[in-house]
Amino acid sequence: MTRDFKLDTILAHAGINSDEATGALASPIHFSTTYQHPEFGHSTGFDYTRTKNPTRATLEKTLAAIEKADYALATSSGMSAIILAFEIFPVGSKVVAARDLYGGTFRWFNDKEAEGRFAFTYTNTEEEMIAAITDETDIVYIETPTNPLMIEFDIEKVAQLAHEKGAAVIVDNTFYSPIYQNPIPLGADIVVHSATKYLSGHNDVLAGVVVTSNQDFYDRLFYNLNTTGPNLSPFDSYMLMRGLKTLKLRMEKSTENAKAVADFLESLPTVKEVLYTGKGGMISFKVADESKIPNIINTLDVFTFAESLGGVESLITYPTTQTHADIPSDVRASYGLTDDLLRLSIGIEDVDDLINDLKNALEA
Ligand code: PLP
């Protein structure tokens, strides 16, 4: 599948016709960890599954195509994708990052800062980020929109400045997915995903993706992946490929539902503020009375109280005690992630059921 086809076609065709031996339409799952060599000094191109696996390789072609990039690597989780991307940079590299980050990313950054592996400067807004990038900066790290405050960064603008200063740009594209954003053509050097979320879409696969069009970065990423082994398993590679086929349909329906839910939340006196960009299924909102949060969560019936996002089922998350619990409360409060904030991942259910569920819980 080449990236000249339109996105819908690339997604629908993920993995098909990949098996020349049988013509199987759906991609076979190659569980074999080792591969027979035809004769001494010859290889089929597959030797050992940590290095290359046919099912994973088929998935990676689709992932590169949908991100309009030359290369993709599928990893065992979003966190392993982020770590793989950072580990290609030297000890002591200076990082400018958006402050509002997934809590697990922040936890790893904090550990690395303490070890002296990387030095971080955190910024709250795009203007602050632009001011913080200097000739000393090695890496600029952006989650856009941010999690959970839903602040958007202009990747093109930031990447242009970063490149002028000699820094590489890494973008976490988990929230928008390639349906709403392709960071590589906008100037990002490396894109990472928690494919656990929208890309797989059914809350049943833990996976990550690293994408790049830079040959040197790819060589180093591949070397590290082969050396350290956080590869995606053949079964999960198949599951992710299967999920990708409906990515666009799921994203469109989640967005349609999320727009209606955001409008509804805006109309409620019990809701203080709604944070929604108008794209995708992620909405955060602040309630007028924080003490009602346990009751709101316990009253919901269609929404499931759980961590994670991007699946077909709607979830409600309380970042304070769940996804962002590793960020100290004073740090969270300093950038607006206050204890009155709830995060919704809007799925593909009937929108009236979603709204009635929220109405019931928020008006109680
Ligand atoms: N990036 C973002 C934006 C996330 O929300 C998450 C997980 O919630 C991750 C990365 C980490 O991904 P994973 O849980 O697949 O390791």
The average pLDDT across 88-106 equals 96
Cis geometry, peptide bond prior to residue 148 (ω within 30 degrees of 0): yes
- What order do you get walking across the sheet with 341-345 strand by strand? 271-275, 282-287, 341-345, 315-317, 304-305
Residue of minimum CA distance from atom 4 in ligand 1: 102
State in Å: Cα 24 to ligand 1 middle.
Answer: 33
50 band by pLDDT with thresholds 50, 70 and 90: very high
pTM of the model: 0.96
CB 227 within 8 A of CB 219: no
The mean pLDDT value for 162-191 works out to: 98
Burial class of residue 278 (count of CB atoms within 10 Å of its CB; 0-12, 13-18, 19+) = exposed
Q: What is the rounded average pLDDT of the residues 228-232?
A: 98
- Please give the span between the terminal C-alpha atoms of the chain, in angstroms, as a whole number: 52
Atom 8 (ligand 1) nearest CA: 308
CA distance 197 to 199: 6
Model confidence band, residue 322 (pLDDT cutoffs 50, 70, 90):
confident
Predicted confidence band at 3 (pLDDT cuts at 50, 70, 90)?
low
pLDDT digits (tens, 9 = 90+) for 331-363: 898 888 999 999 999 999 999 999 999 999 999
Taking the centre of ligand 1 as the mean of its atom positions, its distance from the CA of residue 192, in whole angstroms, is 10
- Name the residue with tokens 């592996």: 117
Residue 20 pLDDT level (bands cut at 50, 70, 90): confident
Please tell me the predicted confidence (pLDDT) of residue 323: 84
Confidence of residue 122 (pLDDT cuts 50, 70, 90): very high
* The pLDDT of residue 89: 98
Mutate to test the pocket of ligand 1, among 143, 196, 337 (most ligand atoms within 8 A of CB): 196
Atom of ligand 1 at shortest range from CA of 82: 10
To the nearest whole number, what is the mean pLDDT of the chain? Answer: 96
**Structure confidence at residue 105 as a pLDDT band (50, 70, 90):** very high
Q: Which residue has the higher pLDDT, 322 or 300?
A: 300
C-alpha of residue 194 to centroid of ligand 1, in Å = 5
How far, in Å, CA of 285 to CA of 265, rounded?
8
Residue in 197, 240, 309 to alter for ligand 1 test, most ligand atoms within 8 A of Cβ? 197
Q: Which residues line ligand 1 (CB under 6 A)?
A: 77-79, 102, 104-105, 143, 147, 172, 174, 194, 196, 206, 208, 308
Residue nearest ligand 1's atom 11 by CA = 78
Q: pLDDT tens-digit profile of 239-289?
A: 999 999 999 999 999 999 999 999 999 999 999 999 999 999 999 999 999
pLDDT at 71 over 60: yes
Kindly give the distance from the C-alpha atom of residue 103 to the centroid of ligand 1, in angstroms, as a whole number. Answer: 9
| Alpha helical stretches, state H, 214-321 | 215-228, 234-244, 247-266, 293-299
Please, which pLDDT band fits residue 2 given cuts at 50, 70 and 90? low
Catalytic residue IDs:
50, 102, 172, 197
